Amino acid sequence: MDAVDRMVIRRLQRDGRTSYTDLGKEVGLSAPAVRARVQRLRDRGLLQVAAVTDPLKVGLPVMALLGVKVDGDVREVVRALERLDPVIYLVSTAGSFDVFAEVVCRTMDELSTLINDGVRAAPGVRAVESFPYFAIHAHRFTWDIPD
C-alpha cells in the first residue's frame, strides 16, 4: 500500500460514495486509474465499501454487547455465533471473557430469546453476560491508516 492508496482510503472513509472522478482530482490520477486502484484494494481485502445504517432508524432499538465465556474450542463457539443474524460484530479476546458479540434486536424479548436459545445453546458456551446499550456516544469509521 502506497501513499496514494492511503489517500484514497482516507477519502472513502469520509464518504464512500465519492466518485472516481472526484477521487482522481484529489489524488492526481485519472478516474480509470482510481477505479483500478480501488478494485485492487478490494481484491486484496484492504478495503470494503459498505452502507452503514443506524439501528434505531431501521427498527432495531435494542443493542447489547454480550460477553461469552467458553469451555473448549473458542473457534467452534465463534463459528456457531457468527451464524446468528442479530450478531453484527464478533471478536475473540483474552481476559474474563473469551468472546464479545455485539447484537441488535427489535425488542428486549428478542434479545432474551437470542441469549437463551441462541448463544447459551451453542456447544461450548459456559456463561453469557449481557451489557445493554443506553446510548452510542461514538461510532467511528475514519481511523487513520498507518504509513
Separation CA 36–CA 27 (nearest Å): 14
Q: What is the CATH class of 55-132?
A: alpha beta
pLDDT band (50, 70, 90) for residue 50? confident
Cα–Cα nearest to 85, from 54, 118, 59 = 118
Separation CA 145–CA 9 (nearest Å): 8
Domain limits, CATH 1.10.10.10, in the chain:
3-43
State yes or no: pLDDT of 17 exceeds 80.
yes
pLDDT tens by residue, 61-73: 999 999 999 999 9
Residues 6 or more apart whose Cβ sits within 8 Å of residue 132 = 62, 63, 64, 111
Architecture (CATH level 2) of domain 3-43: Orthogonal Bundle (1.10)
Mean pLDDT of the region 16-33: 95
Separation CA 85–CA 49 (nearest Å): 21
Mean pLDDT in the chain?
94
Separation CA 22–CA 16 (nearest Å): 12
Cα–Cα nearest to 103, from 125, 127, 78, 131 = 131
HSE, side-chain direction, 13 A CA sphere, residue 146? 0
pTM of this structure: 0.81
pLDDT band (50, 70, 90) for residue 146? confident
Domain limits, CATH 3.30.70.920, in the chain:
55-132
DSSP calls for 10-48: HHHHH-TT--HHHHHHHHT--HHHHHHHHHHHHHTTS--
pLDDT tens by residue, 104-132: 999 999 999 999 999 999 999 999 999 99
pLDDT band (50, 70, 90) for residue 53? confident
